[in-house]
Structure 1
Amino acid sequence: MSERNDDDPVQTSTEQMKEIIAEEVGKAIESSLSGFIDKIQSTVLSVVEEQVKRLEDSVNLIKERSGERKGCSYKEFMAFKPPIYNGEVDSIICQRWLSDIEGVFERTHCEVGDFVAYGTGQLRGQAKDWWDNKKKETGAEAARVMTWDEFKVSFLKHHNPKAIMIRIKEEFIQLRQKGESIDKITGIFMDKLRFCDELVTTEEQKIYYYYNMLSAEYWEFMTPSKYETLTEIINTAREREIELKKQVARGERRAQDVNPSPTKKARTAELGKKVEAKGGSPSCKVCEKGHKGECRFKDKPCPVCGKTGHTASLCPGKVSVCYKHYQPGHKKSECPELVGKRDTKESPTEAPKAKARSFQLTAAEAKIEPDVVSGSTMKNTR
């Protein structure tokens, strides 16, 4: 074996190259390993976070199904995009806002104690001004512990006054289809119905009021006693509207006969009055309209009572509604409470009239009295 020669320049250069290469390889491995480790750590953390989130969602779902989960954060509440109320003094708008915001409370499992805090956060404009003033009136602490029911009482008292409620009930009772489509008049009917709970208490009454609202083109082909729910009679009215439009398309009916406009109806009624005034056809006893020949409603059964000889609007069995209590059975003019008050009410007593007295003076006496102007006979009335 040959001994190593330290003086050999070739061998020395080779050794140095090996050392340099080993050092560079080590640096490269160290650098790659560091980035590799960082990448592994990032991946592991991402997987762990995802698994934790899935676990939390599973736990929340289990609690939700078992009814154990309670409350929600304001961020979760706002994620459901709760409605905003700007303070319109409109019964339908403010009632709809209350209904929608309570729906968000339910879906987010919001704590009852957070209802007022979360709900009032959706007030804007005049509504927010009202709430800010209400907090000053009641005090900050009282406003903080206020329940949702207490809030609704104050809220409705301001934004849904009693006078508006009475007007809506009257509009509901007098509501009639005048040119509107079935979907539009049904929407108006449903909006007003929600304010008439004490007036309309049964499904049968809902059906009656809906039927009574429809125009003749609909109710003369419908019998309210056939339907058990309001949905059934609404769907029947929609089907009838489709059939009427088909008749127009086939040329069997004029377009203006289907949902005629209010202007046309008023004009037709006015024209009928003018014709009658000029000596035209007398008013029919069955339908109270002026026409010649036999009335087409003569042998048709009344949709309300089933008897012939009159229309539904003139039916003696038609339910009257008292505008005082909004209850069927009598008119306001026949309300026992109001009639009793009129009978017991006393007319104001009139002050007794003073009796006239006359005084007759002679010419000599008249000259003595300073208050007498002149004349031989004077009258003084007290």
Structure 2
Amino acid sequence: MGQENGNAPPHARDKRGEFPKGHPPIFKHSIDPLQADDWLRAIERQLVIAQCDDKEKILYASRQLQGAALDLWDSFCFSHTEANPITWAKFCSAFRTHHVPAGLMKLKEFLALKQGSMTVAEYRDKFIQLSWYAPNEVDEDGKRQELFMEGLNDGLQYQLLSHTFANFQ
């Protein structure tokens, strides 16, 4: 029968067509781990736009793998069973584990660190903790101070601009 209340049935999106519209990149292999991480983030954005569920995310993302990356994916799939299904979180974790070293992710986290809602002491402690992953970025006291200041909230940063500090401590 017809729709007597005038409400049309919900229109199902064709995700198979939606995902490729964003021109998702192909990944084969990269010697630059940041390119691998950029690929995964670009794929994630397209999957969100296409409103894919967990299973679709894995299917569509894995379609964008070629060469050595596809061989690694095939090997990863072989080790999983119906009792141990691959989730999107597992896909991302496995991809990053192989292509993006943990130290590099910590370096990125350090370079993007901002005080935000942390107290200055919490921010300082996090800054010091993550600075171990960026020895070249903080190998001089002046560089360390500058990076620390850049991450402070704007108001506090502004207040400290006119001060000179003998050292980071």
Task: Classify the TM-score, shorter chain.
Answer: 0.5 to 0.7
TM-score normalized with structure 2 length = 0.60
Residue number in structure 2 paired with 1:196: 109
- CA shift in 2, pair 1:69/1:122, >3 Å: same
CA, structure 1 residues 224+110, in 2 after alignment: closer, same or farther (shift >3 Å)? closer
Decide which of 208, 212, 215 is 2:146's aligned counterpart.
212
Q: Is the 8 A contact 2:114 2:151 kept in 1?
A: no
- Matches of 1:225 and 1:118 in 2, distance apart? 37
Structure 1 unmatched ranges of 5 or more? 1-58, 170-194, 214-222, 234-302, 308-314, 321-382
Question: Residue 38 of structure 2 aligns with which residue?
Answer: 96
Q: Summarize the Cα distance change of 1:73–1:99 in structure 2 as closer, same or farther, 3 Å threshold.
A: same
* 8 Å CA contact 1:71, 1:110 repeated in 2: no
Aligned-pair distance for 1:100?
0.9
- Percent identity, aligned pairs only, is 21
Question: 56, 64, 79: which is aligned to 1:122?
Answer: 64
Using the TM superposition, give the Cα deviation of residue 165 of structure 1 relative to its aligned residue in structure 2, in angstroms: 4.3
User: Distance between the aligned counterparts of 2:94 and 2:67, measured in 1?
Assistant: 17
Structure 2 residue 93 is the aligned partner of structure 1 residue 153: yes
Q: What is the Cα deviation at residue 79 of structure 1?
A: 2.4
Evaluate the alpha carbon distance shift between residue 115 and residue 79 of structure 1 in structure 2; reply closer, same or farther with a 3 A threshold: same
- Post-superposition Cα deviations, 1:20-50, rounded to whole Å, max 9, x if no partner, equal xxxxxxxxxxxxxxxxxxxxxxxxxxxxxxx
In structure 2, distance between residues paired with 1:227 and 1:165: 23
C-alpha separation in 1, matches of 2:15 and 2:151: 51
Task: Report the equivalent of 2:154.
Answer: 228
Counterpart contact for 2:115–2:151, Cα < 8 Å: no
Alignment of 1:273-288 (within 5 A): none
C-alpha distance in structure 1 between counterparts of 2:152 and 2:29, whole Å: 43
The 8 Å contact of residues 15 and 51 in structure 2, kept in 1 or not, is answered as no
Residue 138 of structure 1 aligns to a residue whose secondary structure is coil
Q: 1:77 corresponds to which residue?
A: 19
Deviations 1:196-224 (A, max 9, x none): 25982415979x979826xxxxxxxxx96
Q: Which has the larger radius of gyration?
A: 1
2:133 maps to none
Structure 1 vs Structure 2 CA RMSD? 4.2
CA change 1:157–1:227 in 2 (3 A) is closer
Alpha-carbon distance in structure 2 between the residues aligned to 1:225 and 1:154: 31
Report the alpha carbon displacement of residue 157 of structure 1 after superposing the two structures with TM.
0.8
Shift of 1:76: 2.6
Aligned residues: 137
Give the 5 Å matches for 1:1-382: 72-139=14-81, 141=82, 145-165=85-105, 169=107, 195-196=108-109, 200-202=113-115, 212=146, 228=154, 306-307=163-164, 315-316=165-166, 318-319=167-168
Offset at residue 146 of structure 1 (A): 1.6
The answer on whether the counterparts of 2:113 and 2:151 sit within 8 Å (CA) in structure 1 is no
Q: 1:95 to 1:209 in 2, by over 3 A?
A: farther
Q: Which amino acid aligns with 2:91?
A: F
Q: 1:225 to 1:199 in 2, by over 3 A?
A: closer
The amino acid of 2:163's aligned partner reads G
Partner secondary structure for residue 26 of structure 2: coil
Tell me: CA distance 1:76–1:200, structure 2 relative to 1, closer, same or farther (3 Å).
Answer: closer
Q: Describe the SS at the equivalent of 2:72.
A: helix
Q: Could you tell me which amino acid in structure 2 is paired with residue 306 of structure 1?
A: H
In 1, the alpha carbon distance for the partners of 2:41 and 2:150 equals 30
Q: Give the 3 Å change call, closer, same or farther, for CA 224–137 of structure 1 in structure 2.
A: closer
Q: Which has the higher contact order (CA 8 A, sep 6+)?
A: 2
Residues 78 and 201 of structure 1, relative CA distance in 2, 3 Å threshold: same
Alpha-carbon contact 1:71-1:111 (below 8 Å) kept: no
Once the two structures are TM-superposed, the CA of residue 86 in structure 1 deviates from its matched residue by 1.6
Instruction: Note if contact 2:114-2:153 (Cα within 8 Å) is conserved in structure 1.
Output: no
